[in-house]
Amino acid sequence: MLPVPLASTSDPDAITKAAAGFDLAAAEATVIPAGGQAICAIRAILGANGLVKTGISIAIPEGTYARVAPRSGLAVKKMIHTGAGVVHHAHRGEVGVVLFNHGAEDFAVSVGDRVAQLILQQISLVDCQEVASLDETLRGAGGFGSTGVATTAVPKQEPEAPQPPVGRAGA
């Protein structure tokens, strides 16, 4: 169960019982400019320039966090994506949605439009310990594309030695 205060304008609701998350719907109309971003406070239903106030808050189970994730249809059809989507267990303020419009046209959001989804995920809380060095791994310090994009390993080819120019003798 996801507790929501009685003063909320709407309760979280999964469109289907087997859904992985709750759709988040906008409580106020706004426009996300093409190539821009908006911060929309949401009214939870399972699923602009500025913050749209809603007064909605949630209490999530200890050992979990809520992740604000994009809706696949908006991502594919309109290039609308989410950012900054972590809601901590202890957070009791409004839940908000940061939307990015990577599309070529402004994206109008109407009251009640499902703009994102809220997914609860279990987390592992561990203590951090400062160390002088880390153990070695096969990947090492590589990151951000260091493993490439090919699905199978492609052997590196050595560059061929330069060949002398071919021309007519005595020319």
pLDDT digits (tens, 9 = 90+) for 100-144: 888 889 888 888 888 888 899 999 989 999 999 999 988 888 877
Residue type, 58: I
In angstroms, how far apart are the furthest CA atoms of the chain?
96
Query: How much is the mean pLDDT over the chain?
Result: 76
Tell which wins on pLDDT, 156 or 5.
Answer: 156
The reported pTM is 0.66
62-108 pLDDT, tens digit per residue, is 999 999 899 999 999 999 888 778 889 998 888 888 888 888 898 88
Q: 60 phi and psi, to 5 degrees?
A: -100, 155
Q: 80 phi and psi, to 5 degrees?
A: -100, 125
The torsion region of residue 125 among left (phi > 0), alpha (psi -120 to 50) and beta comes to beta
Alpha carbon 67 to its chain's center? 8
CATH number listed for the domain at residues 22-122? 2.70.40.10
Which range, of 32-46, 52-66, 113-127, 138-152, averages the lowest pLDDT?
A: 32-46
Radius of gyration of the chain (CA): 25
